[in-house]
Structure 1
Amino acid sequence: MTTTGHELSLLGWRDSLAADLPGGTVPARVARVDRGAAEVIAADGDHHAPYSARLRRAAAEDPVALPCVGDWAAISWLPEGRYELRQILPRRTALVRGGVSRDSRGGLSGDSQGQVLAANVDIVFVAEPAMHGDDFADLGRIERLLALAWESGARPVVVITKADLLGEHLPGLLDDVAAAAPGVDLHAVSALDGEGVEEVRAHLSGDATAVILGPSGAGKSTLVNALAGAEVMETQQVRAVDGRGRHTTVHRELVPLSGGGLVIDTPGIRRVGMYEMSQGVDMVFSDIEELSEHCRFADCAHETEPGCAVLAAVEEGELPERRLASWRKLQREAAWMARRGDARLRAEETRKWKIIHKSVRGRSRP
C-alpha cells in the first residue's frame, strides 16, 4: 500500500500531534513492530524504520516506551538514505497488560512493568468463540479482557465468533455474556457466512481504529478478512471435527480497511495480567458497584459482612456467584500489581540516591 499526504488523516492522524514533532521529522503510523525496528506508514508510503539509539535507551528503562502497533511516531531521513524512528508521539489511548517474568523457581510471575499491546485505539473488539472446549464461551476471560479495554480509554465491544456452531443455544449464551458485560455492545458473528459482520463494521466508520483481542482459535484473523472484504491475514484450515481453526497470527499488524477505518489483528492472548487496573475492573463490574451502594457499611468487602447487598443479590439469584468470584479475583490481582508497582518505584528511587551519594563521596575525597 502506498499513501499520499492527504491520506494521513484516514490513518487517524490528529493535527494536535504536530506540536510534538521534533524538528526535521515527519509523522508516520506504526503498522508492525520487529526487533529494534518498525514498519511504518508515512505520507510518502511504507518504510522500514530502525529505532534511534535514544529510543532504545528509553525502552531499556521502561518497556512501555517501546513503539507498538498503532503508535504515531516521528521519523527522520538519514544521510545513508533511510528513515529512523526517533520518537513516539503522545498516545491517546494505550492497551497495557501486566508483564510476565520468570521467578527464581522457573515459574511465571507477574511483573510491575507493563507491555503495550496497541496504542491510539478507539474500539477494542473482545472476540470470544461461541464454543470454549466442551463448554460455551469463557465469561471470566471476557470480563478480564473488558477490564483491559476499559482501562485503556477505548470503547469495548464484545464479538461472539463462530456463532453458527451453537444453533438454538446461541440466545442463552448471548444473555449470559450480556450479563457479564453491562453497558457493552454485543454482536454474534459468523465470519464464514457473513452473519453479523456489517454490524461490527459499523463501529469502524471514518478513521476509527480497532484492535481485536481474544484467545487463539477465536477466528480473529478470519474476522479481519471479513471486515476488509479480502484475504489480508493468513488463517489455517478449520478442522472438520469441531469447527475450530488455529490462529496463525504471530505478530500484531495494523490493517487499513478499504471502506474506512483501521483494525489491528493480534496473536492469541494466553495470559492477561493486570496493570494499574482499578477503573477498568469497576467498569466491568458496574452491577456490583451499584449493589454495593446499598450495603450497610461503606467499606463492605462483600465477604461475610451483615447487611451486604451484594451477598443478598447472590442468595436471591439476582447476581451469579461466579461473577462475584471473578470480581474478587480481579480486585486482588489489581491490588497486588499496584503494590508491586509501588515497590518497584521505591527500589528505583533508592538506587538513584545510592548513585548520588556515591558520586558525592567520590568528589569529597582528597
Structure 2
Amino acid sequence: MTPLRAIGWPFAGPPTDPAWAQAIAAHPSARPARVTEQHRSGYVVAESPDESYSPESLPEWQRAKCPPESRPAVGDWVLVEGEGKAARIVALLPRFSAIKRGAAGEHYKQQLIAANIDTAFVVCGLDADFNPRRIERYLLLLSGSGVQPVVVLTKADKDGADVDAAMESLSATLAQGVAVVAVNAKDRASVDALSPWLGEGRSVVLVGSSGAGKSTLTNTLLGTEKMKTGAVREGDDRGRHTTTHRALLAMPSGTCLIDTPGMRELKPTGEEDVAESFADIEAIAAQCRFRDCSHQREPGCAVRAAVERGDLDAGRVANFLKLRDEVAAASDQLATRLAQKADARVQGKALNKRLDEKYGKH
C-alpha cells in the first residue's frame, strides 16, 4: 500500500479521472496531499499516515468574501509545491463528494463538513440520545452528497438499551435501503460489524451529536486511544464536546476516519433531495387528490389517510413537512444568492468595458 493510498488516495495508481489528471498536469512540480485538519489559521496536510505539516494556503482562501464551500475542508486533496516552511498549496483538486450544512446565522452560507468521503456513519446512542427524527435530518443532509449513509447505534451494551425497539422506530429508514447497525463502541468484536464499509482507500466520516460515542468508536476502530472521550451528563445523557475540530485519521487497513465535533444545528443548504429521503411518503403523496396537496387539511389527502390507518408514522410525516419547508426556504435563499453573484459579475464586466472604452486597455 502506497503512502497516498494509506490516507485515502481514491485511485490504485495515477488518477484516472480526467479532471484530476488535467489539474495535476497543470502543476508539474506539485505533489498531492490530503487535508487532515482545518483551523482558522490554516490547514494541516499529509502525504502519508506518519507525517503532516502546515503549508501556506492560497491568498483567495484567506479573504473574507471567499465562500466557505470554495475553501478546502478535511478530506480534500490539494497540490503542494515546496518543502518545509516554503511549502504552499497551489491548487484544490476536484471533489467527488461533499457533506455540507447551512451555516448558523440569518445570511445564507454553506459550511463544508468533509470532502471526498465514501461513507458517513450517522452515530446515535441507544440512550436519551436516540432520536429517529434527528437521524432523518442527518440522512436528508447526506442526500445527493455522493456519500453512502450508515446509521450506527452505539451503547447497545448499556442497561435499558432496546435494539429491537430502535430498529422498529427506524423501519421506514431501513425500507429506504439505509443500513442500520447496533454496536458496543468499546468492543472491537462488536464494531467488526462495520467492516463492510472499511477498506483500503475508503474514507469514512462519523457524524452525530455530542456524547453519541463517535470518538469512542474511532478509538476502537483505530485500536488506540487517539481521540479524547468523556462521559455524558447524568440525568439527560447529553454529551460534552470532547472533539473540538475535524481530524482525518488513518487506520492500518488503509481506511481513513474523520471524527467530527457534535453538531446541534443541522440546517439544510437547499440542495437536498427530500423525495430521496422520504420516498415512502412521496409515493403515497402521489395518490392525493390535489397535485399541490400540503397534507394539512385538504380533502382527499392520501398521506393523512395513511397516518390514520397506521401505515405512516405521524412523527415521520411531521418531520417530512418541516424539513420540506426548510429545504424550500433554503433553496430560495440559495437562488437569490446565485442571482446576486451573477448580477455582480455582469455589472463588473460592464464597468470594465466602459473603462476600457474610455481609457483604453492597458
Shorter-chain TM range is 0.7 to 0.9
- Would you say 1:116 and 2:112 are equivalent positions? yes
* Aligned match of 1:106: none
Deviates more, 1:298-307 or 1:29-38: 298-307
1:95 aligns with 2:99: yes
Q: Please state whether the residue corresponding to 1:165 is helix, strand or coil.
A: coil
RMSD of aligned Cα (Å): 2.5
Counterpart check, 1:46 vs 2:52 = yes
Q: Give a deviation string over 1:17-69, Cα, whole Å, max 9, x none.
A: 33322232100111111224211111594221120224435x73321011110
Tell me which amino acid in the other structure corresponds to 1:309: A
Pair 1:312-2:305 in alignment: yes
Q: Which moved more, 1:182-191 or 1:220-229?
A: 182-191
> Contact 1:96 / 1:148 at 8 angstroms: preserved in 2?
yes
The answer to whether the 8 A contact 1:275-1:337 is kept is yes
What aligned pairs does 1:1-366 form with structure 2 within 5 A after superposition?
Answer: 6-13=2-9, 14=11, 15-16=15-16, 17-21=20-24, 22-42=27-47, 45-57=51-63, 60-77=65-82, 81-101=85-105, 109=106, 111-132=107-128, 137-167=130-160, 169-181=162-174, 182-194=176-188, 196-237=190-231, 246-279=240-273, 281-359=274-352
Q: CA deviation at 1:247?
A: 3.4
Gaps of 5+ in 2: none
| Paired AA for residue 198 in structure 1 | D
| Cα drift, residue 201 of structure 1 | 3.1
1:70–1:121 Cα contact (<8 Å) kept? yes
* Structure 1 portions without partners, runs of 5+: 102-108
Measured in 1, the distance between the counterparts of 2:318 and 2:40 equals: 40
Identity %: 36
Distance in 2, Cα, partners of 1:52 & 1:120: 20
Question: Which structure has more strand as a fraction of its residues?
Answer: 1
* Residues 219, 247 of structure 1: 8 Å contact kept: no
CA distance in 1, matches of 2:237, 2:291: 49
SS of 1:32's equivalent?
strand
Structure 1 distance, partners of 2:237, 2:272, is 37
Matching residue's letter, 2:73: C
Cα 1:321–1:239, aligned 2, differ >3 Å: closer, same or farther? closer
Given that 2:60 and 2:66 are in contact with CA atoms closer than 8 Å, whether structure 1 keeps it comes out as no
Q: The residue matched to 1:7 in structure 2 has which SS?
A: coil
Distance in 2, matches of 1:54 and 1:156, equals 33
Contact residue 165 and residue 243 of structure 1 kept, 8 A: no
Alignment partner of 1:167: what SS? Answer: coil
- Tell me the TM-score normalized by structure 2: 0.87
C-alpha contact 2:34 2:47 (8 A) present in aligned 1: yes
Residue-pair matches, total:
348
**For 2:283, what is the secondary structure of its paired residue?**
helix
CA shift, 1:95, in A, is: 0.3
How far off its partner does 1:291 sit? 1.5
Judge which range, 191-200 or 336-345, deviates more: 191-200
Amino acid in structure 2 at the alignment position of 1:304:
R
Secondary structure, in 3 states, of the residue corresponding to 2:243? coil
Give, as a single letter, the amino acid of the residue that structure 2 aligns with 1:319: L
- SS where residue 312 of structure 1 aligns? helix
Cα 1:207–1:178 change in 2 (3 A) is farther
User: Which residue identity lines up with residue 8 of structure 1 in the other structure?
Assistant: L
